[in-house]
Every structure is written in C-alpha cells, then in structure tokens.
Structure 1
C-alpha cells in the first residue's frame, strides 16, 4: 500500500502532483492548486467538459535525498496533475488567477436541463 501512495505523488519523469482542493459553489466548480516555486508564465492549464489538467515548471528543482524506507534520491522539476471533474463544465467560460503560489481556477457548470419551447397551435 505504501508504494501506491508514493507512486501516486510522483513519477520517474520528475513530476510532482500538487496539492489541490475542489469546491462546488452551485453554478461553478472552483479548484485551487498549491504551486510553490512556480512563475505565472510557466503554468499551462487545459480543460475539457470532464477534465482539468495543470502543468507547471518550477523556478528551481527540489531534491529529496532521504525519503521513507527506500532512502532514494528524487529530484522534482515540475508539477503535473489531471483531475476528472465531478460535473460537466463549460471550459470556454473558465477563468484562472495566480497569486503567491496559489492557482485558483473557476469553471462554470453546464446546465444539464433546459426548457424547450413548444411551437404550434
């Protein structure tokens, strides 16, 4: 089980999964990422109706030489995370703000139900 937790946090390409939080605000979903050591110009965000992907290069590499029982040396150069969204969203209406290492993305939900006008007499 421990290996599964560690594998979920990074891969051999030097990517680290950022911490994030999802918040449902009724008509929109807000997802906040912690991206320390990142400049705004290094962030890439991609969204579809069902997924959100964030990638960002770090200003400096972070190296951990002692980690758990295996004691292996690991260097991280960037963050990468893909999330399956809890509801369908309109990616064209999404907005993002980055301040002090925190990326906040707001995605408006797609209305699942619309009224249909009936024509005729």
Structure 2
C-alpha cells in the first residue's frame, strides 16, 4: 500500500496547481462577486431586510422595525386585518474621494416586509411613529379578537 501525501493546494491526480481548497476558494469568490457590488456600492443584487420585533398584548399588537437612515416619507405602510406590509428604500449617498478609497458595508436599496399577524386588527386605527431609526406600529385588535374564547375538547 502506497502512502500519498495530501496536499490541499495541489490536485495530485491531475497534477494541477488547483487543489481542493483553491477550488473552494474560487467558488466562494464567485458567489460573493454575484452578491456584492464591485462598482463602489451603486448596485446591489439583493435588498436588505430590516429586523422586526412583534409583541402581542390583550388590546393590541406592537410591531417595531429597525430601519435607520430613512426619512418618514421613505416608507409605504399598508395594513389589512390579517397582515401588515412595510416597504421603502434606503438610497445610497454617492461619495467620491480623489486621494483615498471609500469602503462601505452599509446596505442600500429597496426593502419590503409583509408580516402576518397573529390576530385580526382594526386596520383603519393603526398608529405609526418613526424615531431614532425605529419604526413603531400600534395595531389595535379587532373587537371580536379581544374577548375570543375557544373551547378545547379532550379527545
């Protein structure tokens, strides 16, 4: 039995300089090239998804969305009795520097969240507030949901 030394950077069978790790690295680079812009952040092939927090009380559902860097007019909020749809766009600030490099990890572009609600709400009485990068929605429950009792049968 012959012992063959494993060289992850060299494919021994083909005697090529591209081994397993190099192949994996090239595949990962191609994946990130598709996802991340290479033109200074002007185009992005995916949108960001703002983080959400939902709390249900006896009278209302409270929803918070983390969306820093937007203005009130950047939002479009629509409510049905069973879901809430929030969309908007974070526009990039174009910066050019003559004597340096600008690197940005901020995510820009359009976003949309459609959040199904655990209870029906009165969609004509939704209250919204935007402060310090947090969008807060108070969604009052429908009267039929406030005192809803469900009979559970033991089978």
On whether the aligned pair clears a TM of 0.5, the verdict is: yes
**C-alpha distance 81-88 of structure 1, shift in aligned 2 (>3 A):** same
Q: Confirm or deny: 8 A CA contact 1:57 1:78 kept in the other structure.
A: yes
Give the alignment's TM-score, normalised by structure 1.
Answer: 0.68
73, 76, 83: which one aligns with 1:44: 76
Distance 1:85 1:37 in 2: 26
Greater RCO, 1 or 2 (C-alpha within 8 Å, sep 6+): 1
- Where do 5+ consecutive residues of structure 2 fail to align? 1-43, 94-103, 147-155
Matched, 1:15 2:47: yes
Give the alignment's TM-score, normalised by structure 2.
Answer: 0.54
| Equivalent in the alignment of 2:27 | none
Report which of the two has the higher share of helix.
Answer: 2
Task: Determine which structure has more spread, i.e. the larger CA radius of gyration.
Answer: 2
State the Cα RMSD in Å.
2.6
* Secondary structure in structure 1 of the residue aligned to 2:74: strand
**C-alpha distance 26-60 of structure 1, shift in aligned 2 (>3 A):** same
| Equivalent in the alignment of 1:56 | 88
Q: Runs of 4+ in structure 1 displaced over 2 angstroms?
A: 12-15
**Aligned positions, number:** 94
Offset at residue 14 of structure 1 (A): 3.5
**C-alpha distance 60-94 of structure 1, shift in aligned 2 (>3 A):** same
Q: Confirm or deny: 8 A CA contact 2:87 2:111 kept in the other structure.
A: yes
Q: Confirm or deny: 8 A CA contact 1:14 1:76 kept in the other structure.
A: no
**C-alpha distance 77-112 of structure 1, shift in aligned 2 (>3 A):** same
Offset at residue 36 of structure 1 (A): 1.6
